[in-house]
Amino acid sequence: MRTIKLGSSGLDVPVIAVGCMRINSIEKAEAARFVETALENGANFFDHADIYGGGTCEKIFAGAIGMKASVREKVILQSKCGIRPGKAFDFSKDHILQSVDQSLARLKTEYLDVLLLHRPDALVEPEEVAEAFGILNASGKVRHFGVSNQNPQQIRLLQKYVKLPLVANQLQFSITNATMVSAGILVNTENEKAVDRDGGILDFCRLNDITIQPWSPFQHGFFKGVFLGNKDFPELNAKIDEIAKKYKVSNTTIALAWILRHPAKMQPVTGTMNVSRLKDCIKATSITLSRDEWYEIYLAAGNILP
C-alpha cells in the first residue's frame, strides 16, 4: 500500500482510510474477515466516530480485530467527537475529554493516533478546545488532532489557540460532489458551480499541510446513494466503465483513482463493508489516471470548463 504523510504530523499513513461507520451492519465473523482483509492489503488506517452505531461500531471493531498490545502497534486509529445526535454539536472541554475516554474504552486501547472534531460547533470556545487537546496529548491519550467539515476561518480560529498542528480535515468529496474543485476552475464566472461554498478549503489545506480526507467518495448529493451504476448518471458511468475496461479493473477502482489523481494527496475514507469492494478500493492506489482521463470523468459528471 502506498503511503503519504498525514499533514504535518510526520505520520506515514496508507492513502486509503478504512471507514468503520457501518461495521455494526455485518455479523461478527464477517467483521473479523473484513478487518483481516484490510490488514493483509496494507490498509491499516481505521476511521471511527463516537456516534457511529451509538458507540457500538468502535466496540465491534475492537472485537473483530482482537485488540491487544501486539495488534495495536500494527494499526492507526482515528476517531471523531463533537456530535450529540439530535441535541447539539459540542466542542466543550468536558465533552471532548469524556468522548475520548469512552472511545478508548470501546476500542480497548490506551491512545488514539488521531482525533478529529466532528462538524463545526456554533458555540465553540477555542480556548476550551486547546485546553482539552493539551490534556489529551500530554496524557498520551491522543497523538495528533484534526477537524471535519470545517472551512479555513474555522480552522484559523482553532489554530490561534491550539498549539498542536491540525493535520487533517474530513470533507465530502466525490466525482459528483466536486465543488471544492469546480469553484476554482470556474472562478470569476457567473456559473452556479463557481460559487465558493467553503472559503477555498482545498487550497487552504494544501497551503497549510492539512490532509483532506474525502468522505462518501462514491455518493452523490448528501447521502442520496452511489453514482456508480446509477441510471441518473449514464454519461458518467459510461466513461468510468470505458476507463475501467482499459485498466482491467472495476468502476469502483476508477472512481477512487480519480480522487487519488488530484495532487492535494488526499486520503479518501471508504465506507464499504464488502471485502471484494474493499479490495477494489485498494487497487486504486496503484493506478494513476492521465490528465485527459481525469478531465473526461470530470466533464462526464456534468461539470464544465469555462
Report whether 93 contacts 134 (CB < 8 A): no
Report the distance separating Cα 50 and Cα 100, nearest Å.
8
Report whether 77 contacts 47 (CB < 8 A): no
Q: Respond yes or no: is residue 295 known to be catalytic.
A: no
11: cell is 505520520
Termini Cα distance of the chain: 37
Closest by Cα among 5, 292, 286, 2 to 144: 5
| AA identity, residue 53 | G
CA-to-CA separations, 280 to 29, 43, 119, 159, in angstroms, rounded = 21, 12, 29, 37
Please tell me which residue in 52, 161, 247, 298 is annotated as part of the active site: 52
Report the distance separating Cα 279 and Cα 265, nearest Å.
20
Q: Which residues are catalytic?
A: 52
